[in-house]
Amino acid sequence: MLKLKEVGQCFYPNTIEEAAKLLKESGEDTRIVGGGLHLTAFPNPAIKTLIFLNNLKLNYIKEIDGKISIGATTTISELANSAEMNGYLKGNVKKLLQSIASELLRNQITMGGSVAQREPYSDIVTMLLTLRADIVIHDGEKEIKTPISDFYKSNFRATLKKSVIKEVLLEKFDSTYKFGMKRFTRNATDIPLLNFGILAQVNEDTIKNVSIVVGARPGPAERFAQAEEFLKNKTLSKELAEEFGKFVEENVDVAGDIRVGKEYRAHIAGIFAKRILNEFMEE
């Protein structure tokens, strides 16, 4: 089944500068290939040129200047199995990564491909927004670092017609920070029908510096500012978890689609919110 019928050429640039230059020069019908999952599963017949990043050595996870730097072609499996994720936020990011999609898909989906594609249901996008990651792109001349929420507020699709994602940077949160994220699917290979992440600093049971993100709403993942405000300076307790679950169910900005109704999505969001706070207490 020849899905990408019109592809007549492909390139294997040796540097990211060269990759960005090729992308700019080859025009609208050119695509960078990350894991290639989206490009092959949902092929766009207009694509004529492919740029492979194989020679760019963007397959890494390393610590630089107190940040965890993850190269764009790193797959979900590579990140999940990395030493850096073992103790990171008490192993909760690793646990999440291991639960995304299926092993074969985890072995293919890349960080760069997930950020660039920004599927509304992407667990990686919800996770990176919750963790307040930075995205580093290269425009052929220089690197540009942008907080992920600003990146998505900008016209990032236009930017990525001329730039290549180089890496994702994660803060090394100290032990007062807690992270939890849950995803709801009907089976292992189904796309999530809702995902919900919380990152919070908990100092002597007081909640600070919260980020809460909801994805697969079914619209794209977004910060849930009202819920962040609700939790700010509150004391972590069973009662708070209960109240917060109700608040989320009543206020979360979700809609219905062919897969699941609005009320059901809101109900799941409320359950996830409550469970994550309860898990924070058990840590």
Partner 1 sequence: MKVHYKINGEEKEFDIQPGELLLDVLRRNNYTEIKGNCYLGTCGACAVLINEVAKATCTTLAAQVNNAEIITIKGIGTISEPHLLQKAFVEKGAVQCGFCTPGTIISAYALLKNNPDPTEEDIKRSIDGNLCRCTGYVQQIEAIKFAIKLLKGGK
- Name the site residues for partner 1 (rule: CB under 8 A): 1-10, 12, 33, 36-37, 39-41, 47, 50, 52, 54, 77, 98, 101-105, 107-108, 188-189
Q: Contacting ligand FAD (CB under 6 A), which of 35, 71, 180, 270?
A: 35
CB-based contact 171:69 (threshold 8 Å) = no
User: What are phi and psi for residue 61, nearest 5 degrees?
Assistant: -135, 115
Q: Which of 7, 13, 20, 38 binds ligand FAD (CB under 6 A)?
A: 38
Strand 9-11, strand 49-52: pairing: parallel
Query: Which of 72, 97, 168, 213 is the binder for ligand FAD (CB under 6 A)?
Result: 72
Residue 243's nearest CA partner among 224, 219, 227, 263 is: 227
* The one among 7, 116, 133, 202 contacting ligand FAD by CB under 6 A: 116
CA 7, CA 36: separation in Å to the nearest integer? Answer: 14
- Nearest residue (CB) to ligand FAD, 133 versus 231: 133
Closer to partner 1 at the Cβ: 5 or 238? Answer: 5
User: How many residues touch ligand FAD (CB under 6 A)?
Assistant: 31
- 3-state SS assignment for residue 188: coil
Instruction: Choose the contact partner of 54 out of ligand FAD, partner 1, none; CB within 5 to 8 A by kind.
Output: partner 1
CB of 136 or CB of 281, closer to ligand FAD: 136
CB 178 within 8 A of CB 199: yes
Report the SS3 class of residue 148: helix
**Which CB sits closer to ligand FAD, 239 or 258?**
258
Beta strands in the chain (DSSP E): 9-11, 30-33, 49-52, 61-64, 67-71, 134-138, 143-147, 164-171, 177-184, 194-203, 206-215, 222-223
Decide whether 12 or 263 has the Cβ nearer to partner 1: 12
Residue 75 burial (10 A CB sphere; 0-12, 13-18, 19+) = buried
> According to the binding rule CB under 6 A, does residue 20 interact with ligand FAD?
no
Q: Out of 69, 117, 130, 278, which residue is the one contacting ligand FAD (CB under 6 A)?
A: 117
Using CB atoms, what's the residue nearest to ligand FAD? Answer: 113
Residue 7: contacted member of ligand FAD, partner 1, none (CB under 5 to 8 Å, by partner type): partner 1
